[in-house]
Each structure stands twice: as structure tokens, then as C-alpha cells.
């Protein structure tokens, strides 16, 4: 059947030309991509950007061009642009594990930790032996205070590569907030055996040894860390924390001053100096330092906890409650903040609410944590554990012998507060004095007992 007009004959000769035009676009895209790769290989990533952009302009489905443009953006710290390009790659190639990995890395740069975890998880699903994906997913989980998830990832990294020194170091850093101090020491030992030039390994081991009251060992580790990294604010702050434990105030002051000189915006250093001021009795100075720590590190639960605990002792209960709750919301590793929330509510006529919150906390404790010292304090406060049993367990049952004296100190403080709550002032005062007699001045209970006795002595 013949066409009714010549229009179709007029269009047909151009069809081959249109097809050729598509081929030209693809060839131009490949040419620009190759130019970009040459520049990238020569270390000129910024110059390569224009070529990769030209490549995707010619061929919007050119996955490799998006990938390497994303890589260029990543090296230039333009993480938002990098994420956009890696998203293009994963849409075009859902099986590209490398793109999911780098997408996660860019999300880490943006501090979008949940999305980073999602991308690393996709990368792992596509390549289960990618130790880098586990390693970086752990970093994201640690930033969200998912310590157990982070620990699982480092266990996997070590299983994949038992000779990875940094994996042992990083696992040790996770074990410290989990209060697995002996394991942290063992992992730091292994890391140092594999690589004895990393200051962070000594610093981590120093913190763990300090908590275990191996003070000479901790001092040697912090000294070694500073020798290896004399420009590290964290190393000086770590040694200051040890000196503070030993009541070497002048030594702690000097190390904190050096740490601040190296990093004037470190929330960790201001927390350390706040505790130093508190021990020296300069409470206005301590408040200023803790407030500064919160300002500089609002993502760190310890800044809110430190500020809230001091505000509690100063009877600033409303801001204290707000900061202590913020510490819980941001996954503070110090469970004492929950007990001080209970104390505030119990002293302001909200005992039922206080007990309900603490019972919810108790029900959430997994495994051995349901019977450890923290759980015993909670059971005592809500009335499940008689005072006599509580005091006996404090002196006889502990995960490690070095913790006994601190438990006794805390038990006397909380027993004193229970007596105060029922109006037994003489009984409360007697317990507060017993608390101070332990001389365990590195516990929150010791500080609080001091404030209680000071309040009792005022007219």
C-alpha cells in the first residue's frame, strides 16, 4: 500500500543520521571518560571533573563516569555531590558493591550515619569478605553509640584478617565504653605486637589500665603515646585523666593546658578540666567548662552527663534533669545518670514515675548486665533489694577485685539518700560520712556525699 503523501519519504532519509548521532554521543562520552581517567591517574582529580561531567552529559547512563566523578568529588570533600553520583551508579548498577561502599564513605563524611550503615550493609551483602566495609560500618555504628553492633563488625574484620593491627586497636576502643577493660588490654597488646608505632593503641591501653587501677602501667602507656604522637591533644588529655585519678592536680593541669593548646575546641579536654575544677572545689569554673564541652560536643553523651551531675549536686535540679535525660538519649555509657534522674524525681514528689523508669531500664538489661553492680543499685533504689543485702553485695560481689572499694563508696551514698528520702537525717548523715571515709574520690557518689554533708552543715 502506497503512502498518501510524501511525508514519510521525507523523514526516512534522516533516520540513519539520527542513529549515527547517538553513536557519536556515546563515542564522545567514552573519549571524555578516557581523558578524565588519564587526568585522574596523573593526580589531577579536579581537572578530571570536567571530563567526567562531559561524559555523563553525552551519555546519562554512563555508570563508570558517574562513579569516577563521584570519586573526584569525594577527594575534594564535596560529599553531597559524591553521594548524588554514587546514587546514580547504584540505580544504574544495583549489583555494584564498590559504589555502595563509596556511597557509605561519602555519607560518613556528611555524618549521616544511618544512611552510611545502609550503604555499607548493601556493600557487604554483595561482597561478604570486604573487610573495609565492615570496618567503616563499625565507625558509623560507633558514632551512633551502637557499641555491640560495632563490636560485631570488628570481630568480623579480625576473622577476615587476623594480622590487621588497627582492627585490634579499634576493637579495644569499643571495649572500653562497654567496660570490657581486660579485653581492651588484650586487644591493645595484640595490636602493639603487630605494630608498636601507633600512639592510639597505647592511649587505649592506658585508659583501660587506669580503670583497672594499674596506675604504673597506665602511666607508661600514656607516656609512650605522647612520645609517639607529641602533637596529639587526646594523648595529653588521657594522661591528665590518669593524673586526676591520682589527685596530681598540678600534673593534670599542665597536661590539660597542653591538650588545649594543641586543640582549643576539644570537648574531651573541657570535660577533663571540668572534673579537675570540681575536685579543686571551683564549681563555677567546672560549670563553665562542662557547658563549653556541651557547646563543642553536643553529640557526646558524656558532656551532658558531666554537666547534669554537677548541676544536681548544686541543687540546680531542673537543668540537671534536662541534661541527664539528654545524656540517656545520646546513649551515655555511665548508668549513674539514670540513678540521678531517679533521685531528682524521688525528691520532687514523683517517686512512682522514678520507679517506673528505673524498672523499664532494668527490664532492658541483657545477659550478665541484668545482675551486675549497676543492676543491683537500680534494684535497691526501687525497693527490690533490702539495704543489708545491698551493702553486703557491694563489699563481696564484684566483677573484678579492683571495683570493690568503689562499690562500697557508692552503696553508702545511695543508702544515705534512701534514709534522707524517708526523713532519717541522722542515718543519712552517718552513711554520707562512711562514703567519704572510703576516700574513693573518683566516684560520683563520693562527690555527691560531700555536697550532702555541706548542705547539712549550713544553717
pLDDT tens digit sequence for 367-410: 888 889 999 999 999 999 999 999 999 999 998 999 999 999 99
Q: Between 404-421 and 373-382, two packed helices, what is the crossing angle to 10 degrees? A: 10
Q: Is the pLDDT of residue 136 over 50?
A: yes
Q: What is the mean pLDDT of residues 133-146?
A: 92
Q: What pLDDT is attached to residue 44?
A: 81
Q: What is the mean pLDDT of residues 198-202?
A: 95
How far is C-alpha 98 from the geometric centre of its chain's CA atoms? 26
What's the number of CA atoms in the CB half-sphere (13 Å) around residue 69?
26
Q: Is the pLDDT of residue 12 over 60?
A: no
Q: What pLDDT is attached to residue 18?
A: 44
Q: What pLDDT is attached to residue 22?
A: 58
Q: Given CA atoms 60, 66, 72, 78 in this order, what sign does their dihedral have?
A: positive
Q: What pLDDT is attached to residue 457?
A: 74
Of the pLDDT bands very low, low, confident and very high (cuts 50, 70, 90), residue 429 is: very high
Domains of the chain, start order: 265-328 (1.25.40.10), 335-459 (1.25.40.10)
Look at 108-122, 283-297, 356-370, 420-434 and tell me which has the smallest mean pLDDT: 356-370
Q: Say what the alpha-carbon torsion angle 189, 194, 199, 205 is, to the nearest 10 degrees.
A: -10
Mean pLDDT of the chain: 92
Q: Is the pLDDT of residue 10 over 60?
A: no
Q: What is the mean pLDDT of residues 164-185?
A: 93
Residue 298 has a CB neighbour count (10 Å cut-off) of 13
Distances (CA, A) of 70 to 31, 99, 118, 139: 18, 9, 18, 21
Distances (CA, A) of 459 to 123, 317, 447, 455, 456: 66, 21, 21, 8, 8
Q: What pLDDT is attached to residue 41?
A: 86
| Percentage of the chain lying above the pLDDT 90 cut | 83
- Backbone phi and psi for residue 31, each to the nearest 5 degrees, phi listed first: -60, -45
| Percentage of the chain lying above the pLDDT 70 cut | 95
Of the pLDDT bands very low, low, confident and very high (cuts 50, 70, 90), residue 459 is: low
Q: Which of 413, 414, 447 is nearest to 432 (CA)?
A: 413
C-alpha cell at 165: 593491627
Q: Is 84:52 a contact under the CB 8 Å cutoff?
A: no
Q: Is the pLDDT of residue 343 over 50?
A: yes
* Contacts (Cβ under 8 Å, ≥6 apart) of 224: 199, 202
Look at 31-45, 233-247, 278-292, 305-319 and tell me which has the smallest mean pLDDT: 31-45
Q: Is the pLDDT of residue 235 over 60?
A: yes
Q: What is the mean pLDDT of residues 424-440?
A: 97
The structure's pTM equals 0.85
Amino acid at each position: 500500500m502506497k503512502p498518501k503523501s510524501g511525508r514519510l519519504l521525507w523523514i526516512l532519509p534522516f533516520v540513519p543520521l539520527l542513529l549515527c548521532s547517538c553513536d557519536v554521543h556515546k563515542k564522545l562520552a567514552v573519549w571524555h571518560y578516557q581523558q578524565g581517567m588519564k587526568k585522574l591517574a596523573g593526580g589531577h582529580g579536579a581537572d578530571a571533573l570536567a571530563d567526567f561531567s562531559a561524559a555523563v552529559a553525552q551519555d546519562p547512563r554512563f555508570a563508570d563516569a558517574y562513579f569516577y566523578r563521584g570519586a573526584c568529588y569525594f577527594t575534594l570533600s564535596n560529599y553531597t555531590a559524591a553521594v548524588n553520583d554514587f546514587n546514580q551508579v547504584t540505580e544504574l548498577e544495583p549489583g555494584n558493591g564498590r559504589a555502595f561502599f563509596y556511597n557509605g564513605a561519602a555519607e560518613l563524611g556528611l555524618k549521616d550515619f544511618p544512611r552510611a550503615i545502609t550503604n555499607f550493609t548493601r556493600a557487604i551483602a554483595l561482597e561478604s569478605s570486604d573487610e573495609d566495609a565492615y570496618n567503616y560500618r563499625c565507625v558509623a555504628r560507633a558514632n551512633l553509640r551502637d557499641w555491640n553492633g560495632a563490636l560485631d563488625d570488628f570481630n568480623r574484620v579480625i576473622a577476615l584478617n587476623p594480622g590487621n593491627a588497627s582492627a585490634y586497636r579499634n576493637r579495644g576502643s569499643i571495649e572500653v565504653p562497654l567496660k570490657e577493660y581486660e579485653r581492651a588490654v588484650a586487644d591493645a597488646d595484640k595490636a602493639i605486637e603487630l605494630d608498636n608505632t601507633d600512639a592510639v593503641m597505647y592511649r587505649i591501653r592506658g585508659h583501660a589500665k587506669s580503670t583497672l587501677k594499674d596506675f604504673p602501667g597506665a602511666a607508661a602507656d600514656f607516656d609512650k603515646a605522647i612520645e609517639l604522637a607529641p602533637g596529639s591533644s587526646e594523648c595529653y588529655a588521657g594522661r591528665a585523666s590518669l593524673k586526676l585519678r591520682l589527685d596530681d592536680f598540678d600534673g593534670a593541669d599542665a597536661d590539660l593546658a597542653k591538650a588545649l593548646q594543641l586543640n582549643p575546641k576539644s570537648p574531651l579536654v573541657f570535660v577533663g578540666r571540668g572534673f579537675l575544677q570540681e575536685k579543686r572545689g571551683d564549681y563555677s569554673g567546672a560549670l563553665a567548662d562542662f557547658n563549653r564541652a556541651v557547646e563543642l560536643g553536643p553529640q557526646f553523651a558524656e558532656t551532658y552527663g558531666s554537666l547534669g551531675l554537677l548541676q544536681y549536686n548544686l541543687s540546680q535540679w531542673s537543668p540537671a534533669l534536662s541534661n541527664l535525660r539528654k545524656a540517656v538519649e545520646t546513649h551515655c555509657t555511665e548508668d549513674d545518670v539514670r540513678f540521678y534522674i531517679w533521685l531528682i524525681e524521688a525528691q520532687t514528689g514523683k517517686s512512682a514515675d522514678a520507679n517506673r523508669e528505673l524498672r523499664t531500664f532494668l527490664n532492658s538489661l541483657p545477659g550478665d548486665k541484668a545482675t551486675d553492680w549497676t543492676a543491683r543499685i537500680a534494684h535497691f533504689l526501687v525497693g527490690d533489694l533490702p539495704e543489708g543485702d545491698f551493702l553486703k553485695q557491694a563489699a563481696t560481689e564484684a566483677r573484678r577485685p579492683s571495683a570493690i572499694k568503689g562499690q562500697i563508696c557508692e552503696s553508702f551514698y545511695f543508702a544515705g539518700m534512701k534514709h534522707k528520702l524517708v526523713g532519717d537525717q541522722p542515718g543519712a548523715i552517718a552513711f554520707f560520712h562512711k562514703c567519704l571515709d572510703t576516700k574513693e574520690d573518683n566516684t560520683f557518689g563520693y562527690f555527691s556525699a560531700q555536697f550532702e554533708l555541706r548542705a547539712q552543715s549550713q544553717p
